[in-house]
Amino acid sequence: MKSRARKIVMLLLAAALLFVSGRVEKSLNGDRDALGITISLPLQDAPPVLALMTQALGGFRGLISNFLWMRANDLQINDQFFEAAQLADWITDLEPHYSQVWVYQGWNEAYNISVKFKDFGDRWRWVQNGIELLRDRGLRYNPDDLLIYRELGWFYQHKMGADLDDANTYYKTEWAQEMTPFFGPHGTNIDALVNPRTSQDRTNAYILETKYKIDPVFAQKVNDEWGPLDWRLPEAHAIYWGTLGLEKSKKHPDKVDPSLVIQVRRIIYQSMMQAFEHGQIIDNPFANSAELGPNLAIIPKTNEAYERSMQEDPGDARNIEVAHRNFLLNATYYLYEANHIAQAQKWYDKVRQEYPDKTILQNDVNSFPRNVSLDEYCVYRVQGVATDTSRADTTAAIEGLLASSYEYLAIGQDDRYAGLGLLARKVWETYMHKIRGFQNDVGRTGLPPFSDMNKLVLSGLLDPVNGLPYGARAVIRSQLRLPGDATMPYGVISTNSVVTTHPSTNAPAGPAGQ
Amino acid sequence: MQKILAISGLTWKAALRFRLFAVIAVLLVLAVVGLPLIVKDDGTARGLVQIIITYTLSAVTALLGFSTLWLSCGALARDIEECQIQVVATKPIARWQIWLGKWLGIASLNAALLVLAGACIYGLLAWRAAKLPLVERTQLRQELLVARGSAKEADNSAAIDADTEKILQDRLKQNPGIAADLNEVRTQIKEQVKSDYQLVPPDYDRQWNIDLGSVAKDNLRDKPLQLRIKFESADHNPNGTYVGLWEIGNPETTNFFKLPPMSLAPDTFHEFTIPPNLFSEKGMLTIVFINENNMSLLFPLEDGMEVLFPQGSFTVNFIRALGIIFCWLVLLAAIGLMAASFLSFPVAAFFSLTMLAVAFSSSTLAETVDLGSVTTGSTPTAATRSITDTVFIPIYREMVNVLNLVENFSPIDALSTGRSVPWSELAAAFGQIVVLFGGAFALIGIALFSRRELAAAQNQ
C-alpha cells in the first residue's frame, strides 16, 4: 500500500513538473527570441504529422534529409521529375527553418526543372510549384525570413517578368488570366478588395488572401507607394513580396543581412523599371491578342526608385547611374511617342541637367544633351537616322511609324496614335532637311510629300483584302471620319431598315396582328 | 516431391498459425492503398501514374523482401532452436527435401502475397486511370499504360573503329618513328571520329535511319510512335533552351511530316509523339534534326535518339515485372535459409541483412571501381596507387560484376516509363537470379544443413 501511494505521488509529481516545464518553456522561448539567441524558431502552425516528425526524428532528421537530397539529385540527373515535388516537400519538412533549403528547392523547381519541359504548360506548372512552395509553405514556417521573400520576388521579376525564358509570354498570359478576376480588367481594382461592397468582392478578397497570400490592404499600400501598378502583371507582385519582406524583416533587424536588404531593394527597383517598360496590357480585340506597352504613369516613381537606390547602395552607384540615365532617355522617348511632348521635354531636361557630359547619339562625339533637341533625339531613336540619309531605310521607318499609329488608333490608344504620327512627320522633316544641300539629287533621293506617304499607308491598311480586319478598319474610318467601307463582312445586313425579330416563344407562328 | 510439398505445406501452416500471412497481407494492402493518398505527384496524370507505380511497387518489394528474410531465417533457425526440427528429421525425409520444402513454401507464400499486392496496384491504376478525362487516358494508354519497345540507329561502332584505325595508320605513316602512347592517341582519334557522328553544327542537319523491322507495317500501322531524344550543347545560352526542328519520314514522298518548332533544354531526355505510318514499307523510319541555333549540338550515340513503339499490353508487362520481383524474393528466401542452416536466428537475420546492405551499396562499389581508389577521392596513377587499392579494387570489381547479374533488371523503372519488360528479360532474370544464385545458395544451404547436428540444442 505504501509502495502504491508512493507511485501515485510520483506520478502526480511527474504530471505537475510536466505542466510547469511546459509553462516555463513558453516563457523561455520568448526570452530566447527577445535576446536574439534563437538559432531556429520553434515550429508554429505546423500540421501534426510535421510537428511529430521534427520532434520524433531528432538528430536523425539530417540523415533522412541527406538520403532524400541524394535521391532527388539522382532522379533529376535521370530526368525523372514525377517525384520531385514530393521529395522537395519531404526535404523542406525535415528542415523547416532552414530558409536556404526552401530557397534551393523553390529555385530548383521554378528554374531547373521547368526548363526541362518542352511544353510551356508544363513549364508554367513547375514555376507555379516553385512559387507555391515558398509562398504557401516556406513563409508559413518562416514568416519573417527575408531570403524567402527575396527569392519569391525574384521569381516574379526575373522568371516571369523578364524575357530570358522563351515561355515568359505564356507565364505572363496565364498569370494575367489568373489575376484578372481579382484585380479587374485593368489590373487596378484594389479598392474593391479592400472595401468590398458585393459578395463577389468579399469572395475575391478572401481567395486572394487565402490562396495567393496577398493582403489587399498591404497591396493598396504598395500601390500607393509605387503605383499605379497593373496587378495582373508579375512586376507588381515582385514589388509586393519585396516590400512585404522588408517590412517583416524590421521585426528582427539584428538578424537581417544588410546585403540581403540591398538585394531585395534592387528587385523592387528593377521591377519598377520593368513595370515602366512593359507594365501595361494593351488588348487588341481584332487580333484577339494582347501586347505589353509602357506604363507611363509610374515614371516619377520609377525615377524616385533609382534615386533612392543610388543613395542606399553607394557601392553600386556608378552602375545605377548608367541605368538611371537610360531610364530617363527611355521615359523621354516613350512620352514623346505617346504625344506627351511637354512631359517628354521635362524628363529630357532632367537628362540635360543630371548627365550633361554624356553623349546620347552613337558615333557622334558632340551629341551632348544640350546639343541635341528633343525632336532630333526621338527621331534618332526611331531608326538612328541622325547621320543616315538612306532613302529606303527612312521610307520604311516612316511607313512603319504611320502603320503603327493607325493600329493604335484602331485599339483606342489615341495618344500613341497622335505621338507616332507626329514622330513620322519629324522623321520625314529631318530627312528632307538633311538632303536640302543636294538640290540636284532631290528628285532622285527625296521622299514623296508626307501627305502622300500617309495616304498610301492608310489605303493599304484600309484595303479589304490585304489590310486590317474589318472591325479595325471600321474604327479607323469612324475616328478619321472617312466614308464607309464598301466591303462588308459576310453576314452583315447592309441596310438601315429595322430588323424584324421573331417573338421568343415556342408558340406556333400566327398571322401578323394577332 | 510429395515430401517437399508436405514441408512446404507445413511452412504455410506455420505462417498462417502465427498470423504472419494475414499481417503482411494487411500491411501490403495498406501500403498500396495508403501511399497514393499521402504522396504528392507533379500535377499531371502521367506523374500520378508514375508515382503510384514506383512507390507502391517499391514499398511492396521492400516489405516482402524484409519479411522474406525474416521468415526464411526464422523458418529453419527457430525450428532447430526449439527442437521442432527433430520431429520432422526423424521422419523418412531427407535433409535436402526439408530445405527445399521450406524454400518452396516461402516462395509460394511470397507468390500469393505478390499476386494480392499486384492485383491491388493494378486495380488502383485502372480505377485512377478510368477517372481521368479521355485525352489524358488516351495519352496514358499510348505512353505509360503500355509495353513499349525501343529501336535505335544501327550500331556505328564498327565503322567508327575502322575510321579510327585508318586515321591512326595514316598519321603513323606521316610521322614514322614517333614515340607516343598509341592507345591514348587511338582514344583521342576515336573521340574525334565519334564527334562526326554526334555533332550537328549550326545550320546543318543530322539524319537518323532507324529500322523498325519489316513487320512494322503490320504491327505498327496507325499507331503513334514516340521519339526520345537527348542532346548536349557546348555552352549554355541565356534562356537555357534551343530550337528543335524535326522532320520525320521521307522528304521525297508525301509520307513526310514537319513537327512544329520546339523549345528544348540540353542534357535532358525529351519524349514526344510523332504521327503514325511515317516509316517506309520496309519499316525504316527517317528522322532529320535541323540545327537552326547558333551553337553546335551533340546527340550522343548511346542515347541521343530512340524510337519507342507499342509492343504489347500493360497487363502482361505488369505480370512480367512482378515475375522479376518474385525472382528477387526467391533469392532472398534462399539467402535466409542458407544463413539459418548453420547460424542461430539472430545471427542469421543479421548476416542476411548485411548481405542485403552490400547489395544495396553496389552503386557505391561501382563508383569506387570507376574511380580506381578506395582511399582517395581521385584516380590514382601507377605511382600513387596504394596497396589497399591494389587489393580491394579487383575484389570490388568482381563483386560488382556478380551483383550486376542480380541487379541489372529494373522492372519498376520499366513499368513507370511504359517500357517493355520482354519475356527474354524475365527468362534471364529467372536463370541468373533463381537458378544461378538461388541454386548456389540452396546447394550451400543444403550442404550445411545436411551436416548439421540437429540434436545439439542451440539455446541451452
Question: For residue range B414-441, what is the model confidence (pLDDT) as tens digits?
Answer: 888 888 999 999 999 999 999 999 999 9
Compute how many other C-beta atoms are within 10 angstroms of the C-beta atom of residue A63: 11
What are the distances in angstroms from CA B55 to CA B37, B63, B410, B420, B460? 11, 12, 14, 19, 44
Q: Look at residue B284 in the predicted model and tell me its pLDDT.
A: 86
Q: Is the per-residue pLDDT at B101 higher than 90? A: yes
pLDDT digits (tens, 9 = 90+) for A375-393: 778 777 776 644 555 776 7
Higher pLDDT, B335 or B181: B335
Determine whether the interchain pair A122/B270 forms a contact, defined as Cβ–Cβ distance below 8 Å: no
Predicted pLDDT at A314: 79
pLDDT of residue B118: 92
pTM: 0.72
Q: Give the pLDDT band of residue A48 (cuts 50, 70, 90).
A: low
Which of B227, B268, B410 should be substituted to probe chain A, the one whose Cβ sees the most A Cβ atoms within 10 Å? B268
From chain A, the residues in CB contact with B47 under 8 A are 81-82
The terminus-to-terminus CA distance of chain B in angstroms comes to: 35
Distance from C-alpha of A7 to C-alpha of B155, rounded to nearest angstrom: 80
pLDDT at A287: 65
Torsion angle of alpha carbons B387, B392, B395, B398, nearest 10°? -110
Residue type, A246: L
Sort out which chain B residues have CB atoms less than 8 A from A158's CB and list them: none
3-state SS class at A345: helix
Encoded amino acid at A220, one letter? Q
Confirm if B198 and B297 have CB atoms less than 8 A apart. Answer: no
User: Which position has the higher pLDDT, A65 or B270?
Assistant: B270
The shortest C-alpha distance from B306 to chain A (Å) reads 15
Q: Which of A64-68, A194-198, A457-461 has the highest mean pLDDT?
A: A194-198
Q: Which of A352, A421, A114, A148 is nearest to A260 (CA)?
A: A148
CA neighbor of B233 nearest in space, from B278, B181, B198, B270: B198
Q: Note the pLDDT of residue B334.
A: 94
Instruction: Report the pLDDT value the prediction gives residue A334, as an integer from 0 to 100.
Output: 83
pLDDT-derived band at A500, boundaries 50, 70, 90: very low
Nearest to A277, CA basis, from A263, A301, A298: A298
d(CA B44, CA B49): 9
Q: Is A160 on the interface with B (CB under 8 A)?
A: no
Comparing A11-25, A216-230, B11-25, B228-242, which segment has the lowest mean pLDDT?
Answer: B228-242
8 Å CB contact of B244 and A118: yes
Question: What gap in Å lies between CA A30 and CA A21, rounded to an integer?
Answer: 14
A85 to B40: CB separation less than 8 angstroms, yes or no: yes
Task: Give the distance from residue B344's alpha carbon to the nearest chain A alpha carbon, in angstroms.
Answer: 31
Any residues with CB less than 8 A from the CB of A106 and at least 6 apart, and which? A130, A131, A133, A134, A138, A151, A152, A155
**Residue-by-residue DSSP string for B230-265:** --EESS--TTS-EEEEEEEE-TTSS-EEEPPPEEE-
Interface check A118 vs B, CB under 8 A = yes
Q: Is A82 on the interface with B (CB under 8 A)?
A: yes
Can you read off the three cell numbers belonging to residue A14?
511527474
Is A23 a residue whose pLDDT tops 90? no
Share of chain A above pLDDT 70, in %: 83
pLDDT tens-digit series, residues A107-124: 888 988 888 888 888 889
Q: Contact B42/A81, CB-based, under 8 Å?
A: yes
> Which class does domain B201-300 fall in?
mainly beta
Task: Give which of A118, A132, A133, A160 to mutate to test B binding, by max B Cβ within 10 Å.
Answer: A118
- Whether A513 has a pLDDT exceeding 50, the answer reads no
- At B313-335, the pLDDT tens digits run 899 999 999 999 999 999 999 99
Handedness of CA B195, B200, B204, B208 (dihedral sign): positive
Q: How far apart are CA B90 and CA A52, in angstroms?
A: 54
Of all residues in chain A, the one with the smallest CA distance to B262 is A118
H or E stretch covering A18? helix A2-35
Question: pLDDT at position A186, please?
Answer: 82
Contact B317, B422 (CB under 8 A): no
Q: Which residues in A lie closer than 8 A to residue B272 (C-beta atoms)?
A: 118
SS (H, E, C) B401-426: HHHHHHHCCCHHHHHHCCECCCHHHH
DSSP for A375-417 reads HHHHHHHHH-TTS---HHHHHHHHHHHHHHHHHHHHTT-HHHH
Tell me what the pLDDT averaged over chain A comes to.
79
Cβ pair B412, B52 in contact under 8 A: no
Residues of chain B with CATH 2.60.120: 201-300
Q: Where are the alpha helices (DSSP H) in B341-386?
A: 345-360, 362-371
CA pair distance A125, A232, nearest whole angstrom: 18
pLDDT of res. A37: 65
Closest by CA to A383, choosing from A332, A434, A424, A347, is A424
